[in-house]
Amino acid sequence: MWKKFLTLGLVITVLTAAGCQKEHAVSDPNMQVTLIGTSQFPPQLVGLWWNEEHGWAFRFDRTGRIPEIVHTFGRFIVRSGQPITHPMVDNGAAVIVPGKWFVEYDAKSRQITIEINLDSYDLNIGQNNISGSSRDVFSGTIPEPGQIKWSLNWLMFPENYVTTADGQFVNHHLPVTDDERDQGMIEFVKLRPKDEADLPTALSDPSAQ
pLDDT at 92: 84
Q: Where are the alpha helices (DSSP H) in 29-188?
A: 178-181
Cα 13 to Cα 34, 136, 155, 160: the distances in Å are 14, 9, 9, 19
Closest by Cα among 26, 110, 113 to 62: 26
pLDDT at 42: 97
pLDDT at 21: 56
The full length of the chain comes to: 209
**Predicted TM-score (pTM) of this structure:** 0.82
Closest by Cα among 97, 56, 103 to 80: 97
**What are all long-range contacts of 203-208, with beta carbons under 8 Å and residues at least 24 apart?**
203/48, 203/57, 203/59, 203/68, 203/70, 203/77, 204/68, 206/59, 206/61, 206/67, 208/46, 208/47, 208/48, 208/59, 208/60, 208/61, 208/62, 208/67
Cα 185 to Cα 54, 90, 102, 147: the distances in Å are 12, 36, 19, 17
pLDDT at 49: 96
Sequence spans of domains, the chain: 2-12+28-198
pLDDT at 29: 87
Which of the residues in the chain have pLDDT under 70? 1-22, 26-27, 193-209
**Per-residue b or e along 85-118, where b marks 16 or more CB atoms closer than 10 Å to that residue's CB:** eeeeeeebebebbbbbbbbbbbbeeeebbbbbbb
